[in-house]
Chain A
Amino acid sequence: MNAVLRAAVTALVLVGAWQALVSVTGLPRYLLPGPLAVADAIQRQAPLLLSHGLTTLTEILAGLAAGVALGSASALALARFRTARRWLMPLLVVSQAIPVFALAPLLVLWLGYGMASKIAMAVLVIYFPVTTALFDGLRRTEPGWLDLARTMGASPAAILWTIRLPAALPAFWSGVRVAAAVAPIGAVIGEWVGSSSGLGYLMLHANARMQIDLLFAAVLVLGLFAVGLYAAVDALARRALPWQSDTQPAEDAIP
């Protein structure tokens, strides 16, 4: 049986159990709607979900692009310049002690209710994992390669671009995978704090009106975005690193 089929069966059993729980206990729809009710909400509210989903997706993608770009640039600067390491490294580490979500209200105050504050929020949560992943990768270059490059008369810049950066790409892509997983969280939290559109806004709105089926539908759409984004990033990473073979066997050997 292939993996997709197995996942589908598991999901089906869980959804069945959910429907059974709702049918047996007769929980009211405003506490726990059954999967059928959620499906119904998705169908009825499709245009609404689509337009709010589009807002959130735009924020996630823009945040991801900007966060990855900023994080990569910082990691490269840190790896290349000793001065940057000495002056910025401590700040970078300490800045992570501040829970970035606490900054969300400030971002809304500064950047307004529109997309900018949500994108900024997503950038903030993405920036650190990307920077640390790439910087760690850049620091862990095989020492033999560096020796060889030095005997060949390579400049530090040439070593960075020709050897250290390609060697760090696997680490970089792990960072981007983490970033893809946290980007939706950043966008939705930004929307919770203050917005007039987006799935986060829709969730709060539906919750306040006891439209719990719509809330579930919004969560589902967000989940689909997250899974799709992760799969896309994973596929990109595999394409970008054809020389890196998976050492983890596709099928787990342990029964």
Chain B
Amino acid sequence: MTPLSVTIEGARLTYGGVLLFSGLTLDLPAGRTTCLLGPSGVGKTTLLRILAGLAEPESPTMVRTGDGAPLAGRIAYMAQQDLLLPWMTVLENVLLGDRLRRSRPDAARVDRARVLLSDVGLSGREHERPAALSGGQRQRVALARTLMEDKPLVLMDEPFSALDALTRLRLQETAAGMLAGRTVLMVTHDPLEALRIGDRLHVMTGRPAAMGPALEPAGSVPRRVDDPGLLALQAELLRRLAE
């Protein structure tokens, strides 16, 4: 599938009578991973939910796509919780989208699910229930489920923030490899995470919030944690976040 570029323009959000942002623009270039950073309550998750079709956009918010067609049905969503269904096996969870769309997965789809599970390092665990897996493994299944959807735009809302530091680093590496070449929007609190796997980083701060200019770290993802350039940028990001 050819990568899709998406733009949200003139985004406006009021919550409980308070204006959180207005006239906000966010570009998601085709085939790149865009990270959105910002303090809690700034409205970045809502922005992601508008793109996901989970929140009603306030007028005059506009979502434009590179090919002009609507975005509905063309996104895959991954949340902070793994959202695995406890009564289904790992494999059934990966194939959940097919089941919900009432299309019986054929052999090719099942094979694809198995390949994705082995890509995230879980081959041989297909028939276990989520309860038998660790938090990191469960989030790996969620990643496989997200990629199983095979949609032009991947939306991730703090996908690794519930994991411990080491598990998070490993999963970032897996995710960066598997998401390469796709259009991705990832909302995160963690500057280091954004620097490791993001092609373009935006910091959203203030009330009403403004979208900072894109920061494009050098090098290819996943970047090394001990890269000195990365650490300098992390300091810069923390400074922008604190503004």
A residues near B (Cβ < 8 Å) are 142, 144-145, 147-155, 158-159, 162-163, 166-167, 169, 241, 243-245
From B54, B73, B83, B85, A153 is in contact (CB under 8 Å) with B73
In the assembled complex, which residues on chain B have CB atoms less than 8 Å from the CB atom of A144?
Answer: 79, 81, 83
Is the beta-carbon distance between B131 and A245 smaller than 8 angstroms?
yes
Beyond A153-B97, A245-B131, list 6 extra A-B contacts (CB 8 Å): A142-B83, A144-B81, A149-B100, A151-B54, A167-B85, A243-B87
A-B contact pairs, 7 of them (CB 8 A): A144-B81, A153-B97, A158-B102, A163-B100, A243-B86, A243-B87, A243-B129
Known: A158-B100, A158-B101, A158-B102. A151 touches B85 (CB 8 A): no
CA gap between A142 and B85 in the complex, in Å: 10
Q: Is the CB of A153 within 8 A of B86?
A: no
Q: A144-B79, A147-B77, A243-B86 are in contact. Are A153 and B129 (CB under 8 A)?
A: no
Contact A243 B83 (CB under 8 A): no
Contact size range, B:
20 to 34
- Which chain A positions have C-beta within 8 A of B96? 148, 152, 162
A145 & B52 in contact (Cβ 8 Å cutoff) = no
Q: Is residue B203 within 8 Å, beta carbon to beta carbon, of the partner chain? A: no
Candidate in A148, A149, A162, A243 with the most chain B CB atoms within 10 angstroms: A148
- Report if B127 contacts A (CB, 8 A): no
Q: Does B109 sit at the interface, judged by CB under 8 A?
A: no
**Which chain A residues border B83 with CB–CB below 8 Å?**
142, 144-145, 148
- A152, B100: Cβ atoms under 8 Å? yes
CB distance from B192 to the nearest CB of A (A): 25
Q: How far is the CB of A221 from chain B (nearest CB, A)?
A: 38
Residue of A with least CB distance to B73: A153
Residues of B close to A169: CB separation below 8 A: 87
Note all chain A residues with C-beta closer than 8 A to B86: 243-244
Q: Mark B87-110, 1 if CB is under 8 A from A, else 0.
A: 100000000110111100000000
* Contact between chains at A147 and B101 (CB < 8 Å): no
